[in-house]
Structure 1
Amino acid sequence: MTRLLSRRLLALALASALAVPAGAQPVDPFTVSDIRVDGLQRISAGTVFTYLPVERGDTLDPTRAAEAIRALYKTGFFEDVRLDQQGNILVVTVTERPAINKLTITGNKDIKTEDLTKGLADIGLAEGDTFDRLALDRVTQELVKQYNNRGKYNVEIKPTVARLDRNRVDLTIAITEGKAAKIRHINLVGNEKFQDEEILDTWESRESNWLSWYRRDDQYSREKLSGDLERLNSFYLDRGYVDFSVDSTQVSISPDRQDMFLTAGVTEGEQYKVSSVQVSGDTILPKEEIEKRILVQPDQIFSRRLLEISSDAITATLGNVGYAFAQVNAIPDVDREAKTVGITMQVVPGPRVNVRRIAFKGNTRTSDEVLRREMRQFEGSWYSQAALDRSKIRLQGLGYFETVDVETQPVPGSPDQVDVIVNVKETTSGSFVFGVGYSQLSGVTTQVQLSQNNFLGSGNRVSIEANRNAYLQRYEFSFLNPYFTDSGVSLGYNLAWREFDNSDFNTAQFSRTTRLGQVILGIPLTETDSVSAQLGVESDQLFTFPGATPQSAIDYIDAVGNRTFHTVRAEVGWARNSLNHALTPTAGMYQRLGAEVALPGSTVEYYKFTYEISKFWPLSRHLVLNTRGRIGYGDSYGDEFVRDICFIAPTQQNPNPTITPQEECTTASPDYVRTIRADGLPFFENFYAGGVSSQGRVRGFTDNTLGPRDIAASGFAQPIGGSLQTVGSLEVFFPTLLDTPAARVSAFLDFGNVYRDFDSFDAGELRASAGASILWRSPMGPISISYAYPLRKDDTDDIERLQFTFGGTF
């Protein structure tokens, strides 16, 4: 659009430069002995002499004088030029055009300021250039025309020129765009085979409707109507109407310039079938391979769309073996009497092409090496469209770039070589969070978190976090090199020390101090499949609160007989990722199957399995459906911990009796014995559901509150999680709603719950909610806001309809 606007404004400027008045000129010819220039202020005399086609010793006659005046006018420097004679001296008197001191554009929204400024600069209307009133008038008319083409017929363009000293001006262009005229009615005349609604469903222009507030499809523009007429033609050609034609189009506007009425007259003609399909030309590959990619078959209804798909499939096939400029021409042979079309697919392969060079543009932070190792097209090898497509998907999968565009450029003088140019637009790939706060409960709170998925542009992932207050201390460091080897084997490690009160997370009231060291290994299997392994040592020290911690948690710890749990943890996982974008996917699938085992010798021996799947289905240009599910299950596999807790009634000698283990009960003469057990998945490893967490997302319910609850001695019921988790969702994204790839709006249906164990599963206990969500990678950080209405709930559930998350990024 910028280039088109610049060309139009430039054409207007050239036209205005030629329309100049003639100045006074000498009548009688004479020989010029000297030349004097009067009236110069900013422009030097040397500049005038450069353009003046008259020199000392020349004979000046009326014809040469007119040529001299035109030459000086064409420079664009002068408002007036006069030639006079003083003896044999030629006197050139000029009036300079003022210089533009400042150029201001206001009120424009539909056309960006940078586009307007660039277009004006291309024709010399820029700060520091000379000012041409005629060019300004012509540009004003062109801008009105540009806005009219966008359906804005009430636009007003008011240029203002303010004179300053030293022959300068300030130029202001005030634009009042007004509202775009809305399409009130679209009328098709001549269509008998298809209803208006079926035809207009393919149009970008629509009559004003309830969705027009965000689609803006009811705003008229000439370019959009031209595209719709082409869609109308395609609609009929895709259904066999070879003789279809658009006979007339009429656009009318209401007197107040607010309503548009569109009419198109058409001739449908008869429907044609395919009589034969042949392949000709140099197919390179066996003809049978080419014929397999042709979707059009004899006796089918003719379809231009199937022809185009077939041509593209053949072109892509040849492109995969190096023929980057292959062409497939579908040549029709129309028999109007028989109402049939014979088709010849003519293959023109062109030269076989190899890639001379691959260059990257736009990666200001990310090094070329990080991008180059994701490329599946290599320099010096045969061109492959499939390899380029896969390279683009892998680059988008990094999550470092908002957009990735791949283009090929022919090498001048080498028809068998191309250069591949990869243009990227970087996005935020890290986060920085810093906070200081104070509360009566926890005192001063400080938090510093720094994470970068593309550390110093190297592709390595680094995260450092420090968080501390009266009840929470957490220090973590993690590092991952995704290309520890050239083959893509990743290696990393995590180090962490955490001490926190679980009550902050809507879970059972207990505190936990964790020390963790972990090594991570990842191995790619294919372009989409990979396996990972983790081995770590963890120490957890648990503390309970009398009267606040659920009795089941206290019993578990007492049955084990130790508040410190040592774990040697091994994790293995398999993942398949075919998503077309890491940040805003619109197609593809992600699956992961993981197993986590506390190895023999750990204080508690247990295992956990998780499986998650997420698939994106592109429904249309405006809609993408995401189906997501996750299931998790865990249990113990080692020996069961069983203990008998003995209670002794108080006596005069011992008014405060203690709880003693079983082996002391015979001498202590207990008044009551209770057997406690520690089996199943440890309560501090339970799954949770509810809220916006990605691992247990059921929006509309407070984080981590779904599922089993246990009652403490105080009578307060607390969520304690469970060993079985089932959650899922159906979510429809509207990618074009906010007109930016960094934002998405969605409508969702979430469902799920957690259960104490596998035998406790009851589909009737599943919770469900529906609502809307906004996801935005803002310059200040990723923001997620959702509003959900619970559809299936229990009176004891904690409801939280409006939920949001925010994190700072850089």
Structure 2
Amino acid sequence: MTRTPPRRLLALALATSLASLHTAPTLAQTASAPSASSFTVSDIRIDGLQRIGAGTIFTYLPIERGDTIDSARIGEAMRALYKTGFFEDIRLDRDGGILVVTVTERPAINTLTLSGNKDLKTEDLMTNLKEIGIAEGETYDRLALDRVTLELNRAYNNRGKYNVEINPTITRLDRNRVDVTININEGKAARIRHINLTGNEKFEEEQLRERWESNESNWLSWYRRDDQYSREKLSGDLEKLNEFYLDRGYVDFSVDSTQVAISPDKKDMYVTAGMTEGEIYTLSEVKITGDTVLSQEQIKRYVLVKEGQIFSRTFLELTSDSIIAALGNIGYAFAEVNPIPDINREKRTVGINLQVVPGPRVTVRRLAFKGNTRTTDEVLRREMRQFEGAWFSQAAIDRSKVRLQRLGFFESGSVEVETVPVAGTSDQVDVVFNVKETTSGSFTFGFGYSQLSGLTTTLQLSQNNFLGTGNQISVEVQRNTYLQRYSFSFLNPYFTDEGLSLGYNMWWREFDNSDFNTAQYSSTSAAAQAVLGLPLTENDSVSLVFGIDRNQILAFPGSSPRTVTDYIDAFGQSTFHSWRAELGWARDTRNDFFTPTYGTYQRLSAEVTLPGSTAEYFKLNYEFSKYWPLNRYMVLNTRAQLGYGDSYGSDSIRVMCRAEGSPPPIPRKTYSDADCAPGTTLDRVVVGTGLPFFENFYAGGVRSLRGFRDNTLGPVDFATGSSFRQPIGGAVKTTGSLEMYFPALLDTPAARVSAFLDAGNVFKDVDSFDVGELRASAGVALLWRAPVGPISISYAFPLRSEETDDLERLQFTFGGAF
């Protein structure tokens, strides 16, 4: 049956045919008549150009003067021009023998702006957009922008954000330009309301999900963010589930199905995973084949899997990694160990063949450094434990990486290492260290504030990496309520190639202890010191300081404590000269300079004033700090400080007599009036012994026991006739702290939040030590390395204190630079 077309369609077809008869003939329209469409091009004219030069079109146009063209050549030319991506529309016409190319250019992107993106970094997004063709200066393509919108939606969906809104805005400008703005409303990640595992008969679901990053909403989700759904996290958790069973011998374990359902409002997720556990397999045989390089006995030392054991993939991977590391340390940079299993399902056993493929033994041709815009290569090279021309060693490279990170010149975690094969040879590699510089000092005018010092002004030239040489230099002028200080210091950490460091310090200061929460006296001191350091091992070093100093004490009877005035009277002078030496040992295994997460720091030092000094004494100090990474959410820091000081040699004893008619003397048993000059009587006997008061240890404040006012703990004394308590410190110091850092709470390496427990005190001497006198506090703290300087805030609750203690729960320090 033939259906008659409607009249409306027939009329439309007729009108179209008539219109084509009156249209100026173009090359495309006359392609069906070869005699009319084929012609020889005498010239080419380009119309419609604005930004693009005519030469660009002639470069891509496959037609030249003198060519004879037809419909096929016309189609080829249009495809070539469209392929450039520069044009929205192209038309080819004929004007006699002239080929007329009329184009409509696509606009250029003037500016590209992203707003609202928090989960995805702007730098990363800009890089990805440029790869797609959306970048400032590029030609605007609507299809490319649509592709960007789809990719962004997919990226946010993978992060569990299904309510994301991507709104591109195009603003037309003059000269055929556009501004592209991509507004992103990320929304909130969908929350996991329920996780259901099916098929697990041997283990409880709680045990299976113990190491999962994904979890149902719970009271800790505000911190861990483990209830935020992410496709990548779920895939990783299912892999952990697979590892859990494979580590316990379930070779046939499999995840059969995974279902993820989302609520209609796209806010809640429901996850269901079905599994088959299988049976436990044991190891029937473990053999090593291939070119082991090392002897079988040496290789077997690294084998952790033994015949008869329950199969464990973790032990198998550790075995492979250990063998690879052993070979990597003797030059086999590309060694491989391929475990080949032989599964017997009837006997439920697995035979393992560890096939060793060492690859070529390689030497390091060159060590290269990238990203060190200020630090010279020489500074980085002296930290290297891998040398050019030597056999490749993975252990040496790893150690070199840690040493670079601990310099403090680079951002935390920014040191990355690449091993690049040398083209044209199989036995050489280049090792490239990529770093990212951070601020290591500058010329600054700064100010700070704390409850202890009030407003502090500082003018300082401080550079730990002076001119990129690694030398440390500091010139400082500091002034606050209790201190005026002028100092200069210099240290060359590599005075010799063996790592011997040499430096010197010079300073002058005026110190008013009455404004330092300590006893009422002031001092003016100056010193010059030479500093020598020598590394013993990769982690151990010793240091020696030798110097001379002068300390003038200004004390006032009736205002200063009796302890202070008696000590000065015992020496008969208020100016103390000292020849001083200090010997120190330090061990540092921390993994980072600014924010370590594991490792230990220890320092033991002995300081002594040499014979011939006004007062002869010594001080012993011990510092300990260890970082324990409990998991990715918590890092525990345990630290302690111990200090002890005393005098040596003979005590300084002085008989204080008074003229007749003066106030009555203080009775003494050992001395009498016979010890005084004629016309005077015995007043008192003063003894200069023990650690000098101006060298005492102090405790309390943000640097020792938070929650107690700075320097107020420990022994106190009174001025004659006064009841005002004046802290004078002590010769024994014991402080310690447990501090839990939460690195995941703030998504930045520049800040960290912690909870702490501080304890300790200062005692007059060893005999005065009493555990019952220890003070304790607990609280929370925030440390932020802000652009304007470090900010430290703590809030503490004293757990063990006395009524006479000076408490200060909220404490902070703020320092900055311009």
TM-score, L = length of structure 1: 0.91
Residue 762 in structure 1 maps to residue 773 in structure 2: no
Contact conserved, 1:206 with 1:217, CA < 8 A, in 2?
yes
Which residue is equivalent to 1:772?
A: 780
1:323: how far off? Answer: 0.5
1:341 to 333, 342, 350: 350
Q: Aligned equivalents of 1:79 and 1:578: distance in 2? A: 63
Tell me the alpha carbon deviations over residues 623-662 of structure 1, each in whole angstroms, 9 at most, x when there is no partner. 22221122111111121122333355748xx999xxx996
User: What does residue 123 of structure 2 align with?
Assistant: 114
Q: Could you tell me whether the CA contact under 8 Å between 2:634 and 2:740 is conserved in 1?
A: yes
Shift of 1:469: 7.4
| Alignment counterpart, residue 536 of structure 1, candidates 547, 557, 566 | 547
**Deviations 1:593-649, CA, capped at 9 Å, x for gaps:** 211111111111111112222122222222222211221111111211223333557
Distance 1:225 1:468, change over 3 A: closer
Out of 233, 237, 245, the position equivalent to 1:236 is: 245
Aligned partners of 1:468, 1:113: CA distance in 2, in Å? Answer: 42
| 1:645 aligned residue | 656
Counterpart position of 1:679: 689
Instruction: Specify the code of the residue in structure 1 equivalent to 2:780.
Output: A
Give, in whole Å, the separation in 2 of the partners of 1:250 and 1:269. Answer: 21
The alpha carbon displacement at 1:426 in A equals 1.9
Name the residue aligned to 1:804: 812
Per mean C-alpha deviation after superposition, the further-off stretch among 346-355 and 462-471 is 462-471
3-state DSSP of counterpart to 1:448? strand
CA distance in 1 between counterparts of 2:706 and 2:697 reads: 16
Matched residues in 2 for 1:229 and 1:268: separation?
A: 14
Once the two structures are superposed, the pairs formed by residues 86-105 of structure 1 within 5 Å of their partners are 86-105=95-114
Deviations along 1:740-777, whole A, 9 cap, x unmatched? 33332222211111110001111111111112222222
1:709 pairs with 2:713: no
Give 1:29-178 correspondences, 5 Å limit.
Answer: 29=34, 30-34=38-42, 35-178=44-187
Q: Which residue of the partner structure matches residue 538 of structure 2?
A: 527
Amino acid paired to 1:679: T
SS of corresponding position for 1:737: coil
* Aligned residue among 628, 632, 637 for 1:626: 637
The match for 1:502 among 513, 519, 523 is 513
Count residues with an aligned counterpart. Answer: 779
Partner of 1:782: 790
Q: Does 1:732 align with 2:740?
A: yes
Letter in 1 for 2:63: V
Letter of the 1:683 partner, please give it: F
Over residues 471-507 of structure 1, what are the superposed CA-to-partner deviations in whole Å (9 max), with x where a residue is unaligned? Answer: 7432211111111111111111111222221122211
Give the Cα–Cα distance (whole angstroms) in 1 for the partners of residues 87 and 481 of structure 2.
77
Distance 1:270 1:144 in 2: 42
2:668 alignment partner in structure 1? none
Which residue number corresponds to residue 414 of structure 1?
Answer: 425
Aligned to 1:687, what secondary structure does the other structure show? coil
1:182 aligns with 2:186: no
> Residues 413-492 of structure 1: matches in 2 within 5 Å?
413-430=424-441, 434=445, 447-468=458-479, 472-492=483-503
**Residues 388-399 of structure 1 aligned to structure 2 (within 5 Å):** 388-399=397-408
* Counterpart-to-counterpart distance in 1, 2:604 and 2:456: 38
Counterpart of 2:701, as a letter, is G
Match of 1:7 in 2: none
Per-residue CA shift, 1:497-555, capped at 9, x if unaligned?
Answer: 22221122211111111121111111111111211111111111111123221111111
The one of 312, 327, 349 aligned to 2:321: 312
Match of 2:627 in 1: 616
- Amino acid in the other structure paired with 2:581: A
Q: Residues of 1 paired with 2:517 and 2:339: CA distance?
A: 65
Give the C-alpha shift of residue 55 in structure 1: 3.2
Partner of 1:750: 758
Which moves more between the two structures, 290-299 or 429-438?
A: 429-438
What does residue 8 of structure 1 align with? none
Question: Partner amino acid for 1:368?
Answer: D
Aligned-pair distance for 1:370? Answer: 0.9
CA 589–114 in structure 1, closer or farther in 2 if over 3 Å, else same: closer
Q: 1:152 and 1:63, CA in 2 relative to 1: closer, same or farther beyond 3 A? A: same
Q: Check 1:468–1:69 CA distance in 2 against 1; reply closer, same or farther (3 A cut).
A: closer
Q: Which residue type is aligned with residue 754 of structure 1?
A: V
Counterpart-to-counterpart distance in 1, 2:394 and 2:404: 15
Aligned to 1:15: none
**What one-letter code is carried by the residue in structure 2 that aligns with 1:107?**
G
**Aligned partner of 2:346: which letter?**
E
Distance 1:134-1:581 versus aligned 2 partners, 3 A rule: closer
2:729 is the counterpart of 1:721: yes
Paired residue secondary structure (2:426) = strand
Change (3 A) 1:404 1:715: same
Cα gap change, 1:673 to 1:166, in 2 (>3 Å): closer
1:585–1:221: structure 2 CA closer, same or farther, 3 Å change rule? Answer: same
- Structure 2 matches for 1:318-333, cutoff 5 A? 318-333=327-342
Residues 91/326 of structure 1: CA separation in 2 closer, same or farther (3 Å cut):
same
Q: TM-score, normalised on structure 2?
A: 0.90
| Per-residue deviation, 1:664 | 7.3
Aligned residue type for 2:280: Q
Counterparts of 1:642 and 1:38 in 2: how far apart (Å)? Answer: 108
Q: Distance in 1 between matches of 2:176 and 2:509?
A: 72
Q: Which residue of 1 aligns with 2:18?
A: none
Q: Which amino acid aligns with 1:687?
A: F
Matches within 5 A, 1:547-696: 547-647=558-658, 650=661, 665=676, 667-668=678-679, 670=681, 673-693=683-703
Q: 1:26 to 1:135 in 2, by over 3 A?
A: farther
Q: 1:809 and 1:192, CA in 2 relative to 1: closer, same or farther beyond 3 A?
A: farther
Deviation at residue 24 of structure 1 after TM alignment: 4.7
In structure 1, distance between residues paired with 2:438 and 2:812? 22
8 Å contact kept, 1:428–1:809: no
C-alpha RMSD of the superposition: 2.7
The separation in 1 between residues aligned to 2:159 and 2:697, in whole angstroms, is 55
Partner Cα distance (2:807, 2:387) in 1? 54
The offset of 1:791, in angstroms, is 1.2
CA contact (8 A) 1:409 1:421 kept: yes
Structure 2 partner of 1:14: none
> Secondary structure of the equivalent of 2:586?
strand
* 1:660-695 superposed Cα distances (whole Å, 9 cap, x missing partner): 99677453353x6323222111111111111123xx
SS at 1:297 equivalent: coil
* 287, 294, 297: which one aligns with 1:288: 297
- Answer yes or no: is the 8 Å Cα contact 2:482–2:511 preserved in 1: yes
Determine which of 383, 389, 392 is the counterpart of 1:380: 389
CA distance in 2, matches of 1:628, 1:276: 48
Find out whether 1:791 has 2:802 as its counterpart. Answer: no
Matched, 1:210 2:219: yes
SS of alignment partner, residue 140 of structure 1: helix
Q: Could you tell me which of 193, 197, 211 is aligned with 2:206? A: 197
Matches within 5 A, 1:229-268: 229-268=238-277
Q: How far apart are 1:169 and its partner, in Å?
A: 2.7
After superposition, the Cα gap between the structure-2 partners of 1:166 and 1:583, relative to the gap in structure 1 and judged at 3 Å, is: closer
